[in-house]
Structure 1
Amino acid sequence: MDRRQFILSGIALGAAASLGTGLAIVGWQQSLAPDSSNRDLVLSALLPALLYGALPQDATLASTELNRTKTAINDFLPFLPLRQQQELNQLFNLLANRISRLGLSGHLSSLPQLSIAQRLQLLNQWRDSYLALLQQAYHGLRELLYGAYYGQSEHWQALAYTAPRFR
Structure 2
Amino acid sequence: MADVHDKDGRQKNMAAIRSKNSRPERFIRLQLATLGFHYVTNKKSLPGTPDIVIKKFKAIIFVNGCFWHGHNCHLFKVPQTNTKFWVSKIHSNTVRDKEVVAKLMAQGWRILVVWECSMKGANKLRKKDLLDRMEEWVLRGDNYSELSFRGLTREQFKPRL
Q: Is the TM value for this pair above 0.5?
A: no
Structure in which a larger fraction of residues adopt strand: 2
Q: TM-score, normalised by structure 1?
A: 0.30
Q: TM-score, normalised by structure 2?
A: 0.30
